[in-house]
């Protein structure tokens, strides 16, 4: 059996799987974010370690942890943790001394991003690792000097479990968003603070013996890199052929298309797909689930009540158009200063139109990215939804109607966790390839067909959306 762990922005999720793709146990813990201003998005990485312990206690009540053959980890990113010392197993549990983690939403490194972009030969967003590290060196030199190494989110947990510091490099084509000796030297950053790279499907190391004993695992079981959360979600949604697109719907929305050829467009990212010889064409909407949470809070509604409100409004939300740039935006504008827009308010606008406009605005942002993919030469046949939001029938249907693409929802909503099981199964030799494992383990639960009668309405709405988003 496999234990898979995905550290999201707002929740820590874990599951135990057999090698036929059956989930035998699940545990999740909510996570908090500290927002001191519009640019800072931090969290205490210690809560990730505590969440691992809490999940293990829950899972052990269903499945003996001695049955686990490997642990596979993914997580949100690019999030950066300044680590101050080696991990310890204190009386209170796992512990790594670290400064607050700067989450992928953190925008304070905009000036450092300009320096990094100039040296990298292309735009590097303020949310990525190097701008954050350079910003710390420039503006918090004492913290920089104290930092033993910089780690990402899943790497921090792996470090706590194995004592091995590694950086996950997702795939060929990501060179611009990471580092090499030359760029570190030109930026005046210390090479020893940046751990060596590891690829998805490679092993961080074995469980430290005292850590395994504490949790009840067999000694030295491997801790495997599952890559970033989007990498695992692509496999867990079964996106392994050109024309298939993974929509990883969470706090943000990652749109990942499998393409036959390498396509370059400055508005998107392109790199090797988990399944060779294909490529992945990617765009990210920064605040989608976060926009829904914002809408709920604004109206004082629960999540279910917010969707029930949206259900009562007519398609098109009475002409109300929402652009979900609530914390800057990545694809396709790559502008950390971008802000949201609500256009078309009138005396007839009610709460239901507002709620529906939030959902339609998110779907327009997804269509925006998919349209650019098609403009660049990609084939887009179907959209596969991953993540908790895939459970909303209303949102899934709006995605189909606005994109005018078939939407498929896998049975396993937590696609990251199933994707990690696919990776771990291959590492342990149960399947010959990621594609073979994904085809065997991913099952589609429901398909949504676009309503052709709404095509003209949504074409008009989308044209206006594109015009006002700039």
- Which CATH number do you get for residue 74? 3.30.420.40
Q: What is the pLDDT of residues 308-330, one digit of tens each?
A: 999 999 999 999 999 999 988 98
Residue keyed to tokens 């409004």: 313
Q: Which residues contact 232 (CB under 8 A, 6 or more apart)?
A: 6, 74, 200, 226, 415, 416, 417, 419, 420, 422, 423
- Give the residue among 152, 365, 357 at the shortest CA–CA distance from 249: 365
Please state, in angstroms and rounded to a whole number, the distance separating the CA atoms of residues 422 and 410.
14
What pLDDT was estimated at residue 39? Answer: 77
Residue of 336 and 76 predicted with greater confidence: 76
Verify that 212 and 266 share a domain, yes or no: no
CB 399 within 8 A of CB 407: yes
Same domain, 129 and 191: yes
By percentage, how much of the chain surpasses pLDDT 90? 86
Residue 51's pLDDT is: 96
Distances (CA, A) of 116 to 109, 132, 180, 262, 359: 10, 10, 12, 24, 35
Q: Are residues 81 and 121 in the same domain?
A: yes
pLDDT score recorded for residue 344: 96
Output the pLDDT for position 424.
98
Determine whether 210 is exposed, middle or buried from the number of CB atoms within 10 Å of its CB (0-12, 13-18, 19+).
exposed
Backbone angles phi, psi at 54, to 5 degrees: -60, -40
Q: Count the domains in the chain.
A: 2
Are the beta carbons of 229 and 77 closer than 8 angstroms? yes
Q: What is d(CA 442, CA 415) in angstroms, rounded to the nearest whole number?
A: 9
Do 201 and 90 lie in one domain? The reply is yes
Q: Please identify which residue in the block is written with the tokens 């909510």.
A: 30
Does 8 map to a domain?
yes
Provide the pLDDT for residue 35. Answer: 75
Strand-pairing partners, residue 224, are 72, 203
CA distances from 439 to 13, 96, 431 (A): 23, 38, 11
Write down the pLDDT at residue 90. 57
**Cα distances (angstroms) measured from residue 323 to each of 48, 74, 385:** 32, 30, 21
Rounded to whole angstroms, how far apart are CA atoms 332 and 422?
30
In Å, what is the CA distance from 232 to each residue of 20, 174, 396, 418?
Answer: 17, 16, 21, 8
Mean of the pLDDT values across residues 381-407?
A: 95
pLDDT at 365 over 70: yes
429: left (phi over 0), alpha (psi -120 to 50) or beta: left
Same domain (yes/no): 7, 139:
yes
Within a domain: residue 437? no
The answer on 242 and 227 residing in a single domain is no
Name residues whose C-beta falls within 8 Å of residue 290's C-beta, 6 or more positions apart in sequence.
Answer: 251, 252, 326, 327
The answer to whether residues 255 and 384 belong to one domain is yes
Dump pLDDT digits (tens) for 54-112: 999 999 999 999 999 999 999 998 999 999 987 775 555 688 999 999 998 888 999 99
- Asked whether residue 459 is domain-assigned, the answer is yes
Q: Does residue 423 fall inside a structural domain?
A: no
362: phi then psi, degrees, rounded to nearest 5: -60, -45
Helices 351-375 and 455-469: angle between axes, nearest 10 degrees: 80
pLDDT tens track for 17-62: 999 999 999 999 999 988 766 678 899 999 999 999 999 999 999 9
Cα torsion angle, 174, 51, 42, 183, sign: negative
Contacts of 470 (CB under 8 A, 6+ apart): 333, 338
Burial class (CB in 10 A: 0-12, 13-18, 19+), 308: middle
Q: Are residues 247 and 211 in the same domain?
A: no
Q: Tell me the C-alpha distance between 274 and 270, whole Å.
A: 12
pLDDT of residue 89: 59
Residue bearing tokens 């693409």: 405
* Domain extent for 152: 2-231
Q: What is the pTM of this model?
A: 0.92
Average pLDDT value for residue range 246-262: 93
Same structural domain for residues 366 and 315? yes
Q: Answer whether residue 322 is part of any domain.
A: yes
- Tell me the pLDDT tens digit for each residue of 113-172: 999 999 998 889 899 999 999 999 999 999 999 999 999 999 999 999 999 999 999 999
- Domain assignment present for residue 332? The answer is yes
Asked if 252 and 125 touch (Cβ cutoff 8 Å), the reply is no
Rounded-to-integer distance, Cα 357 and Cα 218, Å:
51
In a domain, 420, yes or no: no
Q: What does the pLDDT average to over 439-458? A: 97
The band of 336, judged by pLDDT with boundaries at 50, 70 and 90, is: confident
**Are 64 and 80 members of one domain?**
yes
Q: Which of 231, 248, 278 is where one domain is finished?
A: 231
Do the domain assignments include residue 88? yes
User: What confidence tens digit (pLDDT) does each residue in 275-309 have?
Assistant: 999 999 999 999 999 999 999 999 999 999 999 99
Give the domain-ending residue among 231, 263, 298.
231
Domain co-membership, 290 together with 324? yes
pLDDT confidence of residue 38: 67
Q: What is the pLDDT of residue 107?
A: 86
pLDDT above 70 covers what percent of the chain? Answer: 98
Residue-averaged pLDDT of the chain: 94
pLDDT for 171: 93
pLDDT beyond 90 at 359: yes
Q: Tell me, what's the pLDDT at 388?
A: 80
Q: Are both 14 and 110 inside the same structural domain?
A: yes
The last residue of a domain, from among 171, 197, 231: 231
């Amino acid at each position: 059996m496999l234990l898979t762990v995905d550290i999201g922005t707002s929740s820590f999720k874990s599951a135990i799987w057999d090698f036929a793709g059956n989930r035998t146990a699940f545990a999740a813990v909510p996570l908090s974010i500290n927002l001191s201003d519009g640019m800072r998005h931090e969290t205490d990485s210690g809560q990730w370690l505590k969440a691992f312990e809490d999940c293990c206690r829950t899972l052990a009540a269903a499945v003996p942890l001695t049955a686990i053959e490997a642990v596979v980890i993914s997580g949100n990113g690019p999030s950066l943790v300044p680590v101050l010392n080696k991990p310890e197993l204190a009386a209170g549990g796992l512990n790594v001394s670290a400064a607050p983690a700067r989450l992928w939403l953190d925008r304070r490194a905009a000036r450092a991003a300009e320096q990094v972009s100039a040296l990298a030969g292309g735009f590097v967003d303020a949310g990525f690792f190097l701008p954050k590290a350079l910003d710390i060196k420039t503006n918090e030199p004492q913290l920089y000097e104290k930092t033993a190494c910089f780690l990402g989110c899943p790497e921090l947990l792996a470090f706590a479990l194995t004592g091995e510091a590694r950086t996950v490099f997702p795939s060929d084509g990501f060179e611009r968003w990471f580092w090499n000796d030359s760029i570190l030297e030109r930026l005046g950053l210390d090479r020893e603070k940046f751990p060596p790279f590891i690829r998805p499907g490679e092993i961080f190391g074995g469980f430290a013996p005292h850590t395994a004993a504490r949790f009840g695992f067999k000694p030295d079981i491997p801790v495997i890199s599952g890559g970033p959360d989007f990498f695992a979600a692509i496999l867990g949604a079964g996106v392994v052929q050109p024309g298939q697109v993974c929509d990883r719907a969470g706090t943000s929305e990652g749109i990942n298309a499998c393409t036959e050829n390498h396509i370059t467009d400055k508005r998107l990212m392109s790199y090797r797909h988990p399944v060779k010889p294909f490529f992945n064409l990617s765009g990210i909407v920064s605040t989608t689930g976060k926009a829904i949470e914002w809408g709920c809070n604004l109206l004082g509604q629960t999540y279910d009540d917010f969707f029930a409100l949206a259900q009562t409004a007519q398609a098109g939300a009475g002409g109300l158009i929402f652009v979900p740039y609530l914390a800057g935006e990545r694809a396709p504008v790559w502008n950390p200063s971008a802000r949201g827009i609500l256009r078309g308010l009138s005396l007839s606008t009610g709460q239901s139109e507002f709620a529906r406009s939030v959902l339609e605005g998110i779907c327009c942002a997804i269509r925006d990215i998919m349209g650019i993919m098609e403009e660049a030469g990609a084939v887009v046949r179907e959209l596969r939804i991953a993540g908790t939001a895939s459970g909303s029938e209303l949102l899934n249907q709006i995605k189909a109607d606005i994109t005018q693409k078939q939407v498929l929802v896998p049975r396993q909503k937590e696609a990251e966790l199933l994707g990690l099981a696919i990776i771990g199964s291959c590492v342990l030799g149960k399947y010959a390839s990621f594609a073979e494992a994904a085809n065997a383990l991913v099952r589609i639960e429901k398909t949504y067909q676009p309503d052709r009668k709404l095509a003209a309405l949504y074409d008009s709405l989308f044209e206006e959306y594109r015009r006002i988003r700039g």
